[in-house]
Amino acid sequence: MTAKERNRVLTIRNVSAEVDDAIASQARAHGRSKSEFVQELLTATFGDLIGNFCRANGWVALSDQEVAKMIDAKLSDYWFEAAQTLAENRAYCRILSLRTEDELNEILKAAIPLLAIRAKHMSDVTVLPHGVSMTFALFIEAAKRESATLLAFHRDLFYRITKEQFFDQVDEIREALRLPKVERPC
């Protein structure tokens, strides 16, 4: 397949002047043309394995609704308000060695019976972002892993809570899975 066959032309119409000005300003700040800037932004956004999966998968949407009901929260009003950033999604993929949507689908299916446990950890949240059930499923998947993976998970993704809180939450998942408590680092 040639480059011309791989690449497509995309035309966006009816963009407000304010949005066009914002694109132009940000493109200039990064030394790019508006076209290059938007192309890079679109490529990064739609090149995101986890983000694409969350936006397109019906099980994620249904699971998000169920999680919201579990803790009496509501889902964000906008589908594009995602549970994690592009950088966080790359970290999930790197740490858990994720490469395909099939892997994400298996992780989500395996986690569904345990989502209530993870939801309980977030019981004080009133508005949940879309894709939250996948974020919970990735946490549950990580909880099955060894200490080195969990340390990377805490360092790169869950650094906002203490290691003790993190490992307590992991152990609660592991207990439900009938796995031994994780060996905690000193």
Give per-residue pLDDT as tens, 143-172: 999 999 999 999 999 999 999 999 999 999
Q: Give the model's pLDDT for residue 56.
A: 94
pTM of this prediction?
A: 0.89
User: 153 in the Ramachandran plot: left (φ > 0), alpha (ψ -120 to 50) or beta?
Assistant: alpha
At 150, give phi and psi (nearest 5°): -65, -40
What are the pLDDT digits (tens) for 171-183? 999 999 999 999 8
pLDDT confidence bin for 82, thresholds 50/70/90: confident
Using the structure block, give the residue that is written with the tokens 């408590």.
181
What are the pLDDT digits (tens) for 92-118? 999 999 999 999 999 999 999 999 999
Q: Give the model's pLDDT for residue 186.
A: 64
Q: Name beta bridge partners: 82.
A: 130
Helix axes 86-96, 132-143, angle to 10 degrees: 30
The proportion of the chain whose per-residue pLDDT surpasses 70, expressed as a percent, equals 97
User: Is pLDDT of 67 > 80?
Assistant: yes
Q: Give the model's pLDDT for residue 6.
A: 81
Which of 110, 153, 166, 150 lies closest to 133 in space, CA to CA?
A: 110
